Amino acid sequence: MVTLRGKTVAFLAAPEGVEQVELTAPWQAVQEAGGTPRLVSTRTGRIQAFNHLDRGDTFKVDAVVADTSAADYDALVLPGGVANPDALRTDADAVAFTRSFFDTGKPVAAICHAPWTLIEAGVVHGRNLTAWPSLRTDLINAGAHWADEQVRVCTDGPNVLVTSRKPDDLPAFNDTLVTVFAAA
């Protein structure tokens, strides 16, 4: 059995809105594997989740991105939805936080529109990944090798990048990120 016991995983989400299932399903997978998920955001308080375009639940922030670092975590999950990565990619602290996982060789998992944050962090060039189909051109223009696949695992650098397309892919995404995070 794969275990994340003793590992702390950062989930980076903006207060403006995250796709709820892309936050909660990987969160639950980390917990079920014995890991500790922590919600990191751009400010204190709560973040708003959405079920596509409808308001969902709110979630309490555990840490503010400006006050924490990759050294505090073993891995990073970037949930999608359109609003989350769009807000994160305009926040210098969120971009630097994301990039620091690559700089320190720690694994990262991103789903749906989340690779927009990876593009802004300058970490997709030469990497194999997937995302929501509308990001295809953005990723290719940033130098990534995009494919329309359920899950892509990229080991082109010192860390491992797990990417996935959409909520329907969550079972495979969750299984893969738990396996990758456990091996790190």
What residues are labeled active site? 112-113
Spatial CA neighbour of 112 closest among 161, 165, 49: 165
Q: Are 17 and 88 in contact (CB under 8 A)?
A: no
Spatial CA neighbour of 153 closest among 135, 167, 171, 172: 172
Q: Are 92 and 117 in contact (CB under 8 A)?
A: no
- The tokens describing 49, both together, are 């989740």
Q: Is 133 exposed, middle or buried (CB count within 10 Å of its CB: 0-12, 13-18, 19+)?
A: exposed
Q: How far apart are CA 37 and CA 30, in angstroms?
A: 7
R_g of the chain computed on alpha carbons: 14
